[in-house]
A and B are shown apart, each in its own frame.
Chain A
Amino acid sequence: MTNPSDYSSPRADPPAGSNEGYWRKNLTYLGILLSIWFAVSYGAGILFVEQLNSFHLPGTGFPLGFWFAQQGSIYVFVALIFVYVYLMNRLDREYGVDEGAE
């Protein structure tokens, strides 16, 4: 079922199977980034919010857990997406599957 010649389509480009390494690395990135995603929102912002609230973000009036729930998690979300974009663009080039710059 992975034989590409069984299936002809204008979109059937790289032969199936050759991209296993690409996919496995992608899944590794996903695992790491989504763990951070979970840790800053569900972890720091919800499950451990009370413990963290006994600390303050240095120099400000923000209780730490509250800050993660209403500010910090959002900043981390933005950063995660751009890190993923960077990692995947690099991976695309490494495996020769990027779409070129035209």
Chain B
Amino acid sequence: MTVLSWTFVMVGLSFTLYIGIAIWSRASSTSEFYVAGAGVSPLANGMATAADWMSAASFISMAGIISFGGYDGSVYLMGWTGGYVLLALLLAPYLRRFGAYTVPDFVGDRYYSQAARIVAVVCAIFVSFTYVAGQMQGVGIVFSRFLEVPINVGVLIGMGIVFFYAVLGGMKGITYTQVAQYCVLIFAYLVPAIFLSLLITGNAIPQLGFGGVDQASGTFLLDNLNDLHRDLGFAAYTSGTKSTIDIFFITAALMVGTAGLPHVIIRFYTVPKVKDARISVGFALVFIALLYTAAPAVAVFARTNLLNTVSEQPYSEMPEWFSTWESTGLISFDDHNGDGLIQYVGPEARDASGAPIENELSINRDIIVLANPEIANLPNWVIGLVAAGGLAAALSTAAGLLLVISAAVSHDLLKRSFMPEITERGELIAARVSAGLAVVVAGYFGINPPGFVAEVVAFAFGLAAASFFPAIIMGIFSKRMNREGAVLGMITGITFTAAYIVYFKFIDPSANTAEYWWFGVSPEGIGTVGMILNFAVATSVSYFTPPPPPHIPDLVERIRVPKGAGEAHEVSA
């Protein structure tokens, strides 16, 4: 069978599965719609969280980013996994004990303030839309490259599928679909990784393989790659180029941002008990780590393969995949010196006389995962599987985000703020309508990408780190923290972080270099500073303003112990 028919089979089968699950698990109450009736087993919740979390960026782009950045790529590996330790130890069990439906629910009730609730709702909606636009774009890209349909048609098909199970099933439908999507995406990621590892190192476990010996040269693969990098004028693969302080701050912003992302946090409202919340974070991280520890291995295999295939080779003798991907614009070759050979070199490359060598090849980082099976000559069904996996990653994340947006509108804005008398049935209809509208808006941004999707991802993490994380932590670990401190802290954190990112990304992008950054911290890492400011402002303001009313310390006292978490429900404060 050809690649195209295998792709249709794989994608078709997986979509049929998702639709079947959606029909089987419809939501019939607001509790089922928002938190799946808090009846999800910790293991299933762990898988669903992993699929929810691992987006098109994790599946398609991350190995590529690491492959081109070497050690610098570690910020994503540590940042996007270390946040789960914070979730398990500092957030999930207490939020589960509190037993609300959404993150703004907790912020609004703990700080006895509509203003705090509204600030939280605005952040939740902004962060989620930023993210979801990227997912829809990912769906469009996979469709257009593997199934040869236009990007717009791809986005519309993706929207249709998500609409079906998110609107119908709410959190309940999403959860069980995500379990299936996790299985599809991890299988699709690991199969090529294992093939590659066997081919290059003879070791079937990629996580061990990339520390092993390259079968072709007989030396350690990483030493081999460092030598190649040095010869071609790139920074050593295992050292990277970013400054230590920047690596530190970016990692911290990603970790804290992960722990503060609303679509991740709400997953832990869906399990029956506090101890289920704790252990399901553990399961989630195991499932995530399977992909995240394989990604750096894939990155090394792909980098070695790529350099060996293209460097100083005649352009006319490039394999078939080269021209396939050239036609999509993801690879481009420009023979500056007219020698017919491909010079793929780094900024430090010099020829024998010491003159700089010009780089002639530009490669999009997404190619590392998408074209890997072709580069390594893997069977056609593996290529189809990768397409289905990319779609599973994008759709599962999109659905989780859409649910946050829908709950923010129907629950936080209508039920808890502007229409408290709305009936259960009315709220459920509002939730479905807003989920439907959110799908349409997300699809619009997927077809007409605002052009700054990549830039605003820094926003999503920065804002989550500078707003939610400190507010929730202080709400649990301090009985004295009051409304004034929390609100001013959140506003300070958001304003500072947003201003710094907007300045360097949009107002004066030419100044976006280490020499102009404050203390050498890039916009990607500034959320860490925003978080510290939030803590500092909140603590000092609360010191000079009245303590919270007496029921708040009691509330804090209760969420600190697990007994009687019960089912998720309204908290009447």
On A, residues with C-beta under 8 Å from B are: 1-2, 4, 6-7, 9, 11-14, 16-17, 19, 22-23, 26, 30, 33-34, 37, 41-42, 45-47, 49-50, 53, 57, 60-63, 66-67, 69-71, 73-75, 77-78, 80-82, 84-85, 88-89, 92, 95-99
Interface centre among B220, B221, B562 (most CB of A within 10 A): B562
The answer to whether B248 touches A46 (Cβ under 8 A) is: yes
CB contacts (< 8 Å) of B558 on chain A: these are 11-13, 16
CB contacts (< 8 Å) of A23 on chain B: these are 560-561
Known: A61-B221, A99-B563. A85 touches B279 (CB 8 A): yes
CB contacts (< 8 Å) of B77 on chain A: these are 69-70, 73-74
Residues 368-401 of chain B, each 1 if its beta carbon lies under 8 Å from chain A, else 0: 0000000000000000000000000000000000
The answer to whether A12 touches B554 (Cβ under 8 A) is: yes
Q: Can you spell out 16 A-B residue pairs with CB atoms less than 8 angstroms apart?
A: A1-B554, A6-B554, A30-B89, A41-B251, A42-B252, A50-B239, A61-B221, A69-B74, A71-B207, A73-B77, A74-B77, A77-B289, A80-B85, A81-B278, A81-B285, A99-B565
Q: Across the two chains, which residue of chain B brings its CB closest to A96? A: B563
The answer to whether B251 touches A19 (Cβ under 8 A) is: no
- Give the docked Cα–Cα distance between A41 and B78 (Å): 7
Known: A46-B248, A61-B222. A85 touches B282 (CB 8 A): yes
CB contacts (< 8 Å) of B572 on chain A: these are 9
The answer to whether A74 touches B278 (Cβ under 8 A) is: no
CB contacts (< 8 Å) of A50 on chain B: these are 239
The answer to whether A13 touches B84 (Cβ under 8 A) is: no
The answer to whether B557 touches A19 (Cβ under 8 A) is: yes
CB contacts (< 8 Å) of A69 on chain B: these are 71, 74, 77-78
B573 to chain A, nearest CB (A): 9
The answer to whether A97 touches B563 (Cβ under 8 A) is: yes
Give the residue of B84, B238, B248 whose beta carbon is less than 8 angstroms from that of A77.
Answer: B84
Known: A47-B248, A98-B275. A19 touches B71 (CB 8 A): no
CB of B423 within 8 Å of the partner chain: no
* Dominant SS among interface residues on chain B: helix
CB contacts (< 8 Å) of A2 on chain B: these are 553-554, 557
The answer to whether B71 touches A66 (Cβ under 8 A) is: yes
CB contacts (< 8 Å) of A37 on chain B: these are 82, 85
Give the residue of A1, A45, A62, A88 whose beta carbon is less than 8 angstroms from that of B222.
Answer: A62
CB contacts (< 8 Å) of A41 on chain B: these are 78, 82, 251, 255
CB contacts (< 8 Å) of A11 on chain B: these are 99, 558, 564, 566
A95 to chain B, nearest CB (A): 8
- Give the docked Cα–Cα distance between A45 and B71 (Å): 10
- Interchain pairs with CB closer than 8 A, number: 167
CB of B212 within 8 Å of the partner chain: yes
- Give the docked Cα–Cα distance between A96 and B563 (Å): 8
The answer to whether A61 touches B275 (Cβ under 8 A) is: no
The answer to whether A71 touches B296 (Cβ under 8 A) is: yes
Residues 246-263 of chain B, each 1 if its beta carbon lies under 8 Å from chain A, else 0: 011001100100000000
CB contacts (< 8 Å) of B207 on chain A: these are 71
CB contacts (< 8 Å) of B289 on chain A: these are 74-75, 77-78
Known: A53-B239, A81-B84, A81-B281. A45 touches B562 (CB 8 A): no
Give the residue of B73, B211, B282, B560 whose beta carbon is less than 8 angstroms from that of A78.
Answer: B282
The answer to whether A1 touches B238 (Cβ under 8 A) is: no
Known: A71-B296, A77-B285. A99 touches B212 (CB 8 A): no
* Dominant SS among interface residues on chain A: helix
A52 to chain B, nearest CB (A): 11
- Give the docked Cα–Cα distance between A73 and B275 (Å): 24
- Give the docked Cα–Cα distance between A99 and B222 (Å): 49
The answer to whether A53 touches B553 (Cβ under 8 A) is: no
Interface centre among B85, B289, B292, B296 (most CB of A within 10 A): B85
- Give the docked Cα–Cα distance between A81 and B282 (Å): 5
Residues 428-441 of chain B, each 1 if its beta carbon lies under 8 Å from chain A, else 0: 00000000000000
CB of B274 within 8 Å of the partner chain: yes
Known: A66-B238, A78-B289. A98 touches B563 (CB 8 A): yes
CB contacts (< 8 Å) of B561 on chain A: these are 14, 19, 22-23, 95, 97
Give the residue of B82, B220, B247 whose beta carbon is less than 8 angstroms from that of A73.
Answer: B82
The answer to whether A61 touches B223 (Cβ under 8 A) is: yes
A-B pairs, 4 with minimum CB distance: A61-B220, A60-B211, A69-B74, A81-B282
The answer to whether B213 touches A61 (Cβ under 8 A) is: yes
CB of B286 within 8 Å of the partner chain: yes
The answer to whether B248 touches A42 (Cβ under 8 A) is: yes
- Give the docked Cα–Cα distance between A80 and B145 (Å): 41
Interface residues of B in 282-324 (CB under 8 A from A): 282, 285-286, 289, 292-293, 296
Known: A19-B560, A75-B289. A57 touches B211 (CB 8 A): yes
Q: Across the two chains, which residue of chain B brings its CB closest to A66? A: B238
A21 to chain B, nearest CB (A): 11
CB contacts (< 8 Å) of B553 on chain A: these are 1-2, 16
Give the residue of A33, A70, A88 whose beta carbon is less than 8 angstroms from that of B296.
Answer: A70
CB contacts (< 8 Å) of B338 on chain A: these are none
B99 to chain A, nearest CB (A): 8
Interface residues of B in 70-87 (CB under 8 A from A): 71, 73-74, 77-78, 81-82, 84-85
Instruction: Given contact pairs A6-B554, A99-B563, enumerate 10 new A-B contacts (beta carbons under 8 Å).
Output: A1-B550, A30-B89, A34-B85, A47-B248, A60-B212, A61-B223, A81-B88, A88-B93, A99-B275, A99-B564
